[in-house]
Amino acid sequence: MKRQLSKYYKLLILVLCTTFLVFFAQIVIAQSNYNPGAQGKQNVELIVGGDFIVTMNEAQPVIQNGAVAIRDGKIIAVDTRDKILASYTAARTLPGEGMVLMPGLVNGHSHSAMVLFRGLADDLALEDWLQNYIFPAEAKFVDENFVRVGEQLACWEMIRGGTTTFVDMYFKPDVASEVVNECGLRAIIAPSSIDFPSPGFQGWDDAFATAVDFVKRWKGKNPRITPAIAAHAPYTVSPEHLTQAIAAARQYEVPLTIHLAETQTEVEDIKQRYNATPVQHLENLGFLEPRVFAAHVVWPNESEIALLARRGVGVIHNPDSNLKLASGFAPIPAMVKAGVKVGLGTDGAASNNDLDMWEAIRLTALIHKATTLDPTAVPAKTVLRMATLGGAEALGLADKIGAIKVGLQADLLQVQLKEPHLTPLYDVISHLVYTADAQDVDTVIVDGQVLMHKREMLTVDPDKIRLEATSIGERIKAELRPFN
């Protein structure tokens, strides 16, 4: 009997001890998690602030002392800093004192890997530059390694300058896409198809077949990479092939990009061939529609501007390239007034010679004041919109990027305001357009991921890229002499 009672007491003591230990552990855990200031707050991955938030959202254009809460790569709240911090707690906070928080810049037209041809052939007309220098250099040097290193160099340059989305119209799209995936940027990758031999291809048929295969394999594969069709230009692609290109874009529901009406020479050439201007030629082919965005469009007439607006075609203005190649002055004020979706681009660094969107912003604001003799022709706010939300609209991405708005992807910049050229401050938008430059970009975020902070690159290796790019440049200098 005593043995049974002893066994019973031991069991009871064990149960009581276990219960006490469980209860004690719960108290310890509760105390460790207790934060009186965080009660009722929602958890997010990232909070980013700024003395000013330039939202590009008409509902709340500029917020002073603001912040943004980010979860799963998306903006879930935009408000004053105090209200955001009162409602959300984050794993990481980038406060933003002395900063402007704004949408990332959208570079609507580039040939990214051509950074490796930067300064190769300058002070030439477009046709001479292309036919006698660039096309021969591409045939000789462009391979997968060239594109890989060139794309890495371009991504490094664009991240440092605050570009978060870009369009890449070039070759070796799988290589380019892999680099974009690694560096963290957002891109539309459009492998260029052209009627004559290009790197790795005999002509249109094999180049276009490869481009379509790329589109089929990459569509939906990566949320930051949109595959697209690219027909080089009306003067390098036949009507039959232009029709084939737009048909494929429709079939696979992807964007299509093309160079259009870039020079007076192109206009005269297309008139002689098809008895129509370049814009009218594409209209006659049933080519113009909202999925199309055209680079340059320097020489449309008044009726064609109205046509582009009516068809919903995006236009990407490249002021640096147009100036350097003496292509002319695109009628941007007339396009904006007509309702054309206008974005900005840098073009390739072989004809610019950089990928600096701030330079494109400033030139756009200044050039068209001079060409129209009207200082109000393209106001600062209009130009900044072209570089952000306007570019997103032209590319068909306005449902994802271009503004700081709940539900959009968190593609953001912090731009510092502490340097002498940014002091004093009266109008933050004026400063961003007329004063700020690439070196003022402090932090770059794409899809809620920090790619650069305090000018430190986090997703690319600058030293390695510089070494490899320099090596390729030395080879080009050594081997290019025979046809230079």
What per-residue confidence (pLDDT) applies to 130? Answer: 86
* Upper half-sphere CA count for residue 163 (Cβ side, 13 Å): 32
CA distance 319 to 381: 17
Q: Which amino acid is at 195?
A: D
Tokens in use for 281?
């030629």
State yes or no: pLDDT of 21 exceeds 90: no
DSSP structure string for 290-309? TTEEEEE--S--HHHHHHHH
Over residues 421-440, mean pLDDT: 97
Each residue's pLDDT tens digit, 449-464: 999 999 999 999 999 9
Which stretches does DSSP call E strand in 32-103?
42-54, 62-71, 74-80, 88-94, 99-103
What per-residue confidence (pLDDT) applies to 79? Answer: 97
State yes or no: pLDDT of 7 exceeds 80: no
CA distance 459 to 440: 19
| 37-102 shares its CATH topology with 105-401 | no
What per-residue confidence (pLDDT) applies to 59? Answer: 85
State yes or no: pLDDT of 3 exceeds 70: no
Over residues 286-298, mean pLDDT: 98
Q: Which residue has the higher pLDDT, 194 or 14?
A: 194
State how beta strands 449-453 and 88-94 pair: unpaired
- pTM, two decimals, is 0.91
Measured N-to-C along each axis, helices 144-161 and 462-479 cross at an angle, to the nearest 10 degrees, of: 130
Tokens in use for 49?
């602030």
Residue 116 near residue 157, CB atoms below 8 Å: no
As to burial, measured by CB atoms within 10 angstroms (0-12 exposed, 13-18 middle, 19+ buried), residue 30 is exposed
Identify the residue whose tokens are 């602030």: 49
What per-residue confidence (pLDDT) applies to 131? Answer: 87
Each residue's pLDDT tens digit, 143-184: 999 999 999 999 999 999 999 999 999 999 999 999 999 999
What per-residue confidence (pLDDT) applies to 34? Answer: 35
The superfamily in CATH containing domain 105-401 is Metal-dependent hydrolases (3.20.20.140)
State yes or no: pLDDT of 433 exceeds 60: yes
Model confidence at 40, pLDDT cuts 50, 70, 90, reads confident
Model confidence at 127, pLDDT cuts 50, 70, 90, reads confident
CA distance 344 to 140: 31
State yes or no: pLDDT of 284 exceeds 80: yes
What per-residue confidence (pLDDT) applies to 31? Answer: 40
Over residues 276-293, mean pLDDT: 98
Each residue's pLDDT tens digit, 209-263: 999 999 999 999 999 999 999 999 999 999 999 999 999 999 999 999 999 999 9
Is the Cα torsion angle 235, 339, 327, 154 positive or negative in sign?
negative
Question: Average pLDDT over the chain, rounded to whole?
Answer: 92
CA distance 370 to 384: 18
Report the SS3 class of residue 154. Answer: helix
Model confidence at 60, pLDDT cuts 50, 70, 90, reads confident
Can you state the percent helix, strand and coil of the chain, rounding each to 5? 45, 25, 30
What per-residue confidence (pLDDT) applies to 480? Answer: 76
User: DSSP secondary-structure letter at 41?
Assistant: P
- Residue closest to 198 by CA, chosen among 236, 226, 238: 236
Q: Where are the domains of the chain?
A: 2-34, 37-102, 105-401
State yes or no: pLDDT of 483 exceeds 70: no
For residue 314, how far is the Cα from the chain centroid? 15
What per-residue confidence (pLDDT) applies to 470? Answer: 97
What per-residue confidence (pLDDT) applies to 337? Answer: 97
Alpha carbon separation from 371 to 219, 227, 257, 258, 366 (Å, rounded): 42, 36, 27, 26, 9
Each residue's pLDDT tens digit, 437-450: 999 999 999 999 99
The yes/no answer on whether domain 37-102 falls in CATH 3.50.50.60 is no
What per-residue confidence (pLDDT) applies to 458? Answer: 98
Q: Tell me phi and psi for residue 56, to 5 degrees.
A: 60, 20
Q: CA-based diameter of the chain, in Å? A: 117
Model confidence at 29, pLDDT cuts 50, 70, 90, reads very low
